[in-house]
Structure 1
Amino acid sequence: MLFLTFLIACGAAAATGYFFQPGTWYDELQKPDVTPPRWVFPVAWSVLYVLIAWAASRLAVIPGSGTVMALWSAQIALNTLWTPVFFGAHRTDIALGIIILLWLIVALMTFLSVWLDAWAAMMFLPYLAWLTIAAGLNHAIWQDNR
């Protein structure tokens, strides 16, 4: 049941992708050659959200996990915010700030999780890797489309 609760939170974050889709604005942007095809994003995020929820459900029951769970809450809020800022408001500069803060929070959450549940911490590593790629893409798009 706990896993389902965290999966619903991740689903809410994912829903912003439905309401704020890339559209023609995104299609017309200069993007780096390493930009993955569109179909990769929903596939990657689906896997990541399952891992993020699974890790949270493991960590939430561990005594002393309050700080990690507070960071989990902050990261899902920032994760939810990025899509409407980037795709909705077309503010690649603000979105870059959000994703950098998101990366820092996920990195700290991952580091602190190691001491509580190493498996949960490892489940955050693909998320951190994907955020690294996404931040690089966001930065390149911001730089090339001012």
Structure 2
Amino acid sequence: MCYLGSMDWTLFLLFLLACAGAAATGVLFQPGKWYETLAKPGFTPPNRAFPVVWTVLYILIALAAARVAPEDGSGLAMGFFAAQLAFNAVWTPVFFGLHKMKTGLVIMGILWLAVAGTLWQFWQIDVIAGLMFVPYLAWVSVAFALNASVWRLNPERAAAR
């Protein structure tokens, strides 16, 4: 089991860089006017919360991966990690760039499964790394509900795309 003091910080920085790649889609495909005009549920977080939450989550995600990656038998866990990061990166351009709410919901569902799988696999190798994924799974659960609600509340906009 890895402790923060003995963690390979180069590995952490590489995983943080990978997370930054996924985060870059949020910079390239911002919500914009289209999203502002959509009907949204009452539980929609304020816009200013998103960069703060994602920064914390990406740091936790990178720390968790850096703890698990060097451990024996981490191949499946790291496969789940790569899958969740890929679906994380794809959702933003699909939802905000292409305005595909239903496709975004499907991607978000797959992302949720990939995050849950990563959490479970990480937990098997390093409980602390697994716990670091709990806030991410909670946030993706909110994001799934938000995506579903926006799709449901805007049937004419969803049908147009």
Report the TM-score, using the length of structure 1 for normalisation: 0.99
Q: CA-atom RMSD, angstroms?
A: 0.6
Match of 1:63 in 2: 72
Q: Kindly report which structure 2 residues correspond to 1:1-146, keeping only aligned pairs within 5 A, or say none.
A: 1-146=10-155
Q: What's the CA shift string for 1:53-100, capped at 9, x where partnerless?
A: 000000001000000000100000000000000000000100000010
Displacement of 1:118: 0.1
| Shift of residue 119, structure 1, vs aligned partner | 0.2
Letter in 2 for 1:92: M
Which whole-Å CA distance do the structure 1 matches of 2:29 and 2:82 have between them? 22
3-state DSSP of counterpart to 2:133: helix
Deviation, structure 1 residue 34: 1.0
**Secondary structure at 1:122's aligned position in 2?**
helix
Alignment-mate amino acid for residue 126 of structure 1: P
Distance in 2 (alpha carbons) for counterparts of 1:77 and 1:88: 16
CA deviations 1:24-60 (Å, max 9, x no partner) are 0000000001101100011000000000000000000
CA distance in 2 between partners of 1:113 and 1:73 (Å):
13
User: Which consecutive unaligned segments of at least 5 residues does structure 2 have?
Assistant: 1-9, 156-161
Larger Rg: 2
The number of residue pairs the alignment matches comes to 146
Q: Distance in 1 between matches of 2:30 and 2:83?
A: 23
- 3-state DSSP of counterpart to 1:33: coil
Q: TM-score, normalised by structure 2?
A: 0.89
The unaligned stretches of length 5 or more in structure 1 are none
